[in-house]
Amino acid sequence: MSDTVAVILAAGQGKRMRSRQPKVLHRVAGRCLLEHVLAATREAGIKNSVIVIGHGAAEVKAALGPEQTYAWQEEQLGTGHALAQARQAAGGAESILVLCGDTPLIRPATIASLVKEHQATGAVATVLTACLDDPAGYGRIIRDEQGRVRAIVEERDAAPAERAINEINTGIYCFTASFLWPALAQLRPDNNQGEYYLTDVIALAVNQGLAVQALACDDPEEILGVNDRVQLAAAGAILRRRINTTLMLAGITIVDPASTYIDASVTIGPDTTIYPGTFLEGHTIIGANCSLGPGTTVRDSQVGDGSELIHAVVLASTVGPGCHIGPYAYLRPGTVLEAGVKVGDFVEVKASRIGRGSKVPHLTYLGDTTVGAGVNVGAGTITCNYDGRQKWPTTIEDGAFIGSNANLVAPVRVGAGALVGAGSTITRDVPAGALALARGRQVNLPRRGKKDDAERQEKG
C-alpha cells in the first residue's frame, strides 16, 4: 500500500478529558491512544503516516519520537482544517487514509479492508460506519431512498429525525487525493461549532456527482472514540479483554481476566497461570509454567520457566527459572536472580546478582550486592550500602552462611563457605571458610531488682 498515506488527526485538546495532558497521550494497556492507532495502521501494511499535531505538539512529539512525520495545525479550527495541514507531508500519495488519534480500538484488518474497498470501487470517498444502539455524540450517516450515502451530519447540527439514525461516522475514511485536497479548500465553518468539518466533504462529493461509499464495521467496539475518562476506561477494558483472550487461547491460564492487567507488549509462555490483581507491563517476557500473583507487578523484566511470584513487585530485573519470589518481595531495577533462587517475605533487592540456588528467605535488604551460589542469607540481614554520600558494593561468595540479623557494612566481602554469626555487624572482609563474630559477648548477672522485690515481700 505504498500509494496510500495515513493521516492521523491528533491536534485537538480533548477538552472533555479535563486534563493538562493532550488527549492522545493518555494511556491504556501500556500505550498512549495515538500509539495504538499508529500500531494498527502499521500492522495494516501502511508504511507512511502523517500525524497532525497542534495542542500540546511538543509533548506529543516527545512521546512519539522524531522518526515520525508530523504536520502542524496552529489553530484547532476543525477536523477538515486539520487534514488540510497534512497535504504537503502526504506528498503525492493517491489514497489518503484518515484516522483520529482517539480511536485506539480500531483493528488492522478493518483498516486494510477499508483501503482495499476504496481502491476497488473507484469512489472518491469511502467512510467506515457503524450501527450503534446508542449513537449519541457521533456524526450520523444520511442516506437517500436508494441507500446511497448523501452526507454526514454532526449531532449538534442534526434535526431530531437525523438524530434518530443509528448509523454513525467512525471518523475513519479513505479518500482519493485528487478529490480531497481541492474539496478541503471549499469547506466553510457554517455550523454549530464554527469549525471546518471534514465530514462536509461527503456532501461536497455528492453535489459534484462523485461516488461515495460506506463500509460498515461489524464490531462497533472497534470504533469507540475516547473523548472523556469514562470512555478511556471503557477502551482500556476492551483492550485488556482482547489481550487476555489472545493469551488464554494461546495456552495461558488467567484465573480472572477482569482483574488481570497485561500490556500488549508482554509475551508469556504456555501453561503459566496468572492470578487476580496481577499487572504485567512494558517489555516483559514471562516463561512457561510460571505462577504469577495474586497481587503481583512485573515491569520491563524477564521471568524464567517455572518460577513462582506471589505478592511481588519486580522492576527492570531478571528472574531465572525455578525461582520462588514473595510473598511481599520487592525486586528493584538491576536485580538478576539465577536459577532456583528464593527471595521470600519482606525482602528488598536492588541492583544485585544472586547466584544459583541461594536463599534470602525473610526480612532482608540486599543492595549493590553480588551473592554466589548456594548462599543462605538469614532473616533480618541488611547490606549497609550507603554511607550518606555514596553506594558501596558487598560480595558474598559461594556457600557462605549469613546468620540472622547481620549488618554487612559495605564495601565488604564474605569469602566462600564463611559463616557470619547472628547479630554481627561486619565491617571488615571475612576470609573464606572463617567464622566471623562481631557482637558483644553475653554476660549473665543476678537479677538485682528481682532479689530486692523478694525481700520486700517477705518483710511485708
Binding site for Ca ion (CB under 5 A): 102, 225, 227
Q: Which single residue brings its beta carbon nearest to ligand UD1?
A: 139
Which of residues 101 and 326 has its CB atom nearest to ligand UD1 in the complex? 101
Which of residues 132 and 438 has its CB atom nearest to Ca ion in the complex? 132
Interaction between residue 261 and ligand UD1 (CB under 6 A): no
Backbone angles phi, psi at 3, to 5 degrees: -85, 5
Which of residues 73 and 110 has its CB atom nearest to ligand UD1 in the complex? 73
Cell numbers for 17, please give them: 478529558
| Residue among 29, 38, 57, 82 that touches ligand UD1 (CB under 6 A) | 82
Q: Which single residue brings its beta carbon nearest to Ca ion?
A: 225
What separation in angstroms does the CA of 146 have from each of 36, 142, 150, 279, 329? 37, 11, 10, 51, 66
Closest contact distance (angstroms) between CB of 172 and ligand UD1 is 8
Closest contact distance (angstroms) between CB of 155 and ligand UD1 is 8
Contacts with ligand UD1 in 45-64 (CB under 6 A)? Answer: 52
Per DSSP, helices labelled H in 122-157 are: none
- Measured over the CA atoms of residue 58, residue 60, residue 65 and residue 71, the dihedral's sign is negative
Report yes or no: 102 and 84 within 8 Å, Cβ to Cβ. Answer: no
Contacts with ligand UD1 in 101-130 (CB under 6 A)? Answer: 101-102
Bridge-based pairing of strands 31-32 and 27-28 is antiparallel
Determine whether 362 is an active site residue: yes
Rounded Cα gap, residues 458 and 448, in angstroms = 16
Report yes or no: 382 and 404 within 8 Å, Cβ to Cβ. Answer: no
| Residue among 29, 32, 57, 100 that touches ligand UD1 (CB under 6 A) | 100
Catalytic residue among 26, 36, 55, 362: 362
Which of residues 196 and 330 has its CB atom nearest to ligand UD1 in the complex? 196
Interaction between residue 260 and ligand UD1 (CB under 6 A): no
Rounded Cα gap, residues 280 and 39, in angstroms = 20
Contacts with ligand UD1 in 9-48 (CB under 6 A)? Answer: 9-12
Residues 126-140: b if buried by 16+ CB within 10 A, e if exposed: bbbbbebeebeebbb
Which of residues 113 and 227 has its CB atom nearest to Ca ion in the complex? 227
Contacts with ligand UD1 in 373-432 (CB under 6 A)? Answer: none
Rounded Cα gap, residues 301 and 290, in angstroms = 14
| Residue among 30, 56, 104, 225 that touches ligand UD1 (CB under 6 A) | 225
| Residue among 26, 36, 81, 342 that touches ligand UD1 (CB under 6 A) | 81
Strands of the sheet with 318-319, listed across from one edge: 267-268, 285-286, 302-303, 318-319, 336-337, 353-354, 369-371, 394-396, 412-414
Q: What residue ranges bind ligand UD1 (CB under 6 A)?
A: 9-12, 52, 73, 76-79, 81-82, 100-102, 138-139, 152, 154, 168-171, 197-199, 225, 227
Active site residues: 362
